[in-house]
Amino acid sequence: MQVEKKETHTIIRPEDDCDQRFFSSLKKQIADFSKEHLIIDFSTLGTIKVDDLLQFFDIAIEKRAKHTSFVLVASGIAIDEIPDNLIVAPTLNEAQDILEMDAIERDLMGL
């Protein structure tokens, strides 16, 4: 797992594949990122299945409850196959735009 810390968020990329090892590793370390806005970037892996992304649903709910952003980057995903609480962007730039919009929303709500 590659971790890249930015000023406002952290980007995590799997080294090989979006498999059970990556998910388990992230699940074990998610507490280390509890206060950080996260982008999980699968853009370098090619095709990702919807079932792979659905593994992250509980993490997404947990992050939102803590008022932090959580966005997955994966292209070629039919958005109607993804639950509303799981945010998927087709590119890293769009994921970063979503983080900015989330920050504005949190500011407006006083969170």
- Give the length of the chain: 111
Give, in order, the Cα–Cα distances in Å from 85 to each of 16, 45, 46, 79.
26, 23, 23, 12
Cα 50 to Cα 11: distance, rounded to the nearest angstrom: 20
Domain assignments of the chain as residue spans, ordered by start? 2-109
Confirm whether pTM is higher than 0.75.
yes
Cα 86 to Cα 11: distance, rounded to the nearest angstrom: 16
pLDDT higher than threshold 90 for residue 10 = yes
> What pLDDT shows up at residue 76?
86
Regarding the domain delimited by 2-109, which CATH topology (the fold level of the hierarchy) does it fall under? Transcription Regulator spoIIAA (3.30.750)
Where do we find the tokens 């407006």?
Answer: 108
> 10-13 and 2-5: which strand pairing?
antiparallel
Of the ranges 23-32, 64-73, 75-84, which is most confident?
64-73
Sheet holding 70-73, edge to edge: 2-5, 10-13, 38-41, 70-73, 87-89
